[in-house]
Amino acid sequence: MGILNVTPDSFSDGGEFLSTDDALAQAEQMIQEGADIIDVGGESTRPSEGRERISVDEEIARVIPVIEKLSKVSSIPISIDTTKTEVARAAVKEGARIINDISALRFEPTIADIAASSGAGLVLMHSRGTFETMHKLEPMKDLLLEMNESLRYSIDEARMRGCKREQIAIDPGFGFSKSHDQNLELMAKLEIFAGWFSDYPLLIGTSRKSFIGRILNNAPVDERLHGTMATVAISVLKGANIVRVHDVKAAVETVRVVDAIRRAKN
């Protein structure tokens, strides 16, 4: 899954693909490099003091032109990264086939209604708190247990609203509402988490995250490629089915090597 942020303030590539033409060019490059899905996002979730959420209209204005044009020139599945029902509705109407909700329906449960009525895939990511507080919370006392309980609730909500099991994927939410040590613990125990949710595809998003930078002597965002690929390799070995990345070519090559090794073992 290639990340396409059409935002001015995303932590890694904010402002790089604000114009529709630049965004389409980046999407086409990621597809050429081997991306199987393009994930389009119009609102940054980076920690930022005093930052307010953008409106539905502003988010739609950012993402819909890109989704509309990309869906006409490519058959690759498009994912809309949003927590807003109306944005999801507009994106699906223009060709998005996956809704990627970092709140796992906690902010707007009616997102599941859009997935159910359209047949779109639905990614449920673990996070805690509100949009404004999710990066400021105290660490969880029992990481895996609390994640399990929260995501089970979200799955039940999605199923109650008409989503089928095969529409749902799970994302443990690296970097969201977790301390540095808990991100490492989650990676170390990922096979346990994957086993609990073995009925659902597992999506992992560690790309350029701050916990990787911290391990690498506080490396800036543009110097976290090798650390990211280490987490990609570990994630796939521990059960990940989808990896969400900025650097598609590097991830494709990393996963290809991991897959070859796994096949040799069997």
What is residue 168's three-state secondary structure? strand
Indicate which residue of 62, 209, 224, 238 is catalytic. Answer: 209
Question: How many CA atoms does the CB half-sphere of 118 hold within 13 Å?
Answer: 22
Indicate which residue of 244, 249, 256, 263 is catalytic. Answer: 244
Question: How many CA atoms does the CB half-sphere of 8 hold within 13 Å?
Answer: 5
Judge whether 128 counts as a catalytic residue. Answer: no
Alpha-carbon 169 to chain mean position: 11
**Residue type present at position 84:** K
Residue with tokens 């247990």: 145
- Tokens for 86? 């109306």
Under 8 Å between Cβ of 127 and 134 = yes
Judge whether 209 counts as a catalytic residue. Answer: yes
Catalytic residue numbers read: 209, 244
